[in-house]
Amino acid sequence: MNTGEHTTSGAGLVHDKQDGRGAALTALLSRLSDGLARAGLNKTQLAARAGLGRTTVSEAFRGGGSAQTVAALARALKLPVDELLELQRAAAKEPGTITVHVVGPGRPIGQWEPHELEVHPAGPAKAASSAEALAMRVLPKYVPRAHDQVLADAVRDADAGRSRIVVLVGTSSTGKTRACWEAVQDLAKAGWRLWHPFDPTRAEAALEELHRVGPRTVVWLNEAQHYLGDPTHGERIAAAVHQLLLDEERRPVLVLGTLWPEYAHRYTALPTPGGPDPYSRVRELLAGHTTAVPDAFDANALAEAAALAGQGDRLLADALTRARDSGRITQDLAGVPELLRRYEQATPPARALLEAAMDARRLGVGLHLPQAFLTDAASDYLTDTDYDQLTDDWAERAFAELAELVHGKQAPLRRTTPRAPRRPPAPTATAGHPAPALAGPVFRLADYLEQHGRTTRRHLCPPASFWHAAHTHLTHPEDLKSLADEAGSRHRQQWAHLLLHRAADQGHTGALGRLAAMREEAGDRGGAEALLRQAADHGNTGALFDLARLREEAGDREGAEALARQAADQGHTDALFRLAELREEAGDREGAEALLRQAADHGNTGALFDLARLREEAGDREGAEALARQAVDHGLSLALAYLAKLPEISNRLWPYGLDPDGTPTLPWHG
């Protein structure tokens, strides 16, 4: 054998380089190439016709074919077998012949890029072309979990010379492939190779090349159902992998695979007595070598993810804003690129539905969006041309398009069923009016698209069809009130007024109060009082307080005090404060102090300050200082200013201070 410089090809072939090439070998390769061209075949087709492996054929066309291979190729290409064998024998004796040493399929781990091995991209791509997009994708920092220890143990055994197999079992986008990629990084430093059988099909590539796998190789069987579950080759592949793991001459090797639970169950289930057993070798291979990957991050993993987010990992930080509660962090990360692509490449009707849903969520509508609302709202999101091309079933087809799942079992817009409440209801602005049941199907926008809409559409005002659909189809009082406020801020006053009335009709007391304010601004005090009384009848204590103000402005101090007393009895501290003022104005300082203390006990820091003032006016400087300090401790800087004006205590303001211009400064304000 010649001893020239060695190079490694992507197919795992080592060539002895020579300055020339023998005449016989040149003639042989020329005859094979001409025959291939005349036959109109590619090498994969030739391999099938000759009954050879695709890699074996490729080696022969590079000068590494055996006599048996050359004979089979000659027959398949209808070339003279004896002549080609004579050239092959002569080439083997020639100086300058290229000798090929097979070191096994695959290439060094460090030459692989994780997305080539089907690690899901995370986050939207920013590059112009798909190739650039793949290259520029950045993976989030890795968060180890319990299954990573199983992988680490297998890697340690492999590095110590023992062949191992681990198959991770988990649902879509739970981080199985990424976990395998992280695990083999230590082997990359040790010079291991990695082989991902893929072409022409996964099963064909595996069956053809498994016998050539050499030591210190990772066999990458991602989505192992394509290998082990193949109806034609699956059992043979399982047997070949089993043999590879037992082969002392080829160890150590590490076989890593991933499976969805339904496939793992199918392959490992025992057959019925007397029934067929299509996965006997697969079941034997997997026995004791599968490890579960959970759907969600546990508390420890979430804490680690939050720490990495705090160190600047924006992908994890964004995912946590959407998926912390569910713990489905990997699913969120895997789904983001495809969700964005589905939005950007959606048909016009589907995109219109998505943008109507985005606007509804960013303007305060709840999670569950009625189908009728979205359908009616979508019309003005379409151009005239797109609107004119709508078919009778456009909505049905658009909703079906948006329901198709992406990674992590997410859909851009999916039908959902609201859960029945299982907790005591919290106080709401619609006391006495339970939220109406939603009529018809409801849909939920994907969390990422909701976040995307809040960012990209924040300055846009929805079109008229949106407001009309909201007024026509939405029934939840909080949704209507939120949209009314947004319509008003966007100078859609007529829609704001209509939505407020609809919210009020559904029992939203805040909407009644806002309508009352509008009536008062228009000079209709009687109408304002009527609306406020309606709100007060539904438990709105603020309405009672506003009624008291209107009564006082009308000169009815007795009625005002009675209404303020009702509001105070229901816990309205501003009403207590106002009652104290009325008592003080009437000369009842003792009654005023009692009411202020009651307000202070309910957290009103202004009441503490007024108590300090009353104590000072009564000559109780020590009591005044104590009350003012309490107010300061609750963040009332006005009380600090009051303390600073008392000369006899201004030198005792520690831990408070004064700015150079004499302005009081709270300690937590610097």
**Domains (ranges, CATH) in the chain?**
6-103 (1.10.260.40), 108-126+141-292 (3.40.50.300), 330-418+438-474 (1.10.10)
Residues contacting residue 112 through CB under 8 Å, at least 6 positions apart:
194, 196
Alpha carbon of residue 212 to chain centroid: 41
Strand 664-665 to 657-658 pairing: antiparallel
Taking alpha carbons only, the member of 144, 141, 243 closest to residue 219 is 243
pLDDT in the model for residue 453 = 94
Report, as ranges of residue numbers, the positions in the chain whose pLDDT lies below 50: 1-21, 97-102, 127-136, 431-432, 637-638, 640-641, 644, 647-660, 662-670
What's the pLDDT at 68?
83
Sign of CA dihedral 644, 650, 653, 656: positive
| CA dihedral (73, 78, 79, 80) positive or negative | positive
Angle at 207 between CA 202 and CA 209, to 5 degrees: 95
Separation of alpha carbons 248 and 236, rounded Å: 20
Q: Which two tokens stand for residue 503?
A: 């919210």
Count of helices and strands (H, E) across the chain: 34, 14
Identify the residue whose tokens are 């299509």. Answer: 278
Whole-number Å distance between alpha carbons of 433 and 508: 8
How confident is the model at residue 669, as a pLDDT? Answer: 33
Contact between 283 and 267 (Cβ < 8 Å): yes
Q: Say what the pLDDT of residue 1 is.
A: 34
| Whether the Cβ atoms of residue 219 and residue 187 lie closer than 8 Å to each other | no
Tokens of 56: 């074996």
Give the number of other CB atoms < 10 A from CB of residue 670: 7
pLDDT of residue 658: 43
Q: What is the pLDDT of residue 538?
A: 66
pTM: predicted TM-score of the whole model, two decimal places: 0.61
pLDDT in tens, 384-402: 999 999 999 999 999 999 9
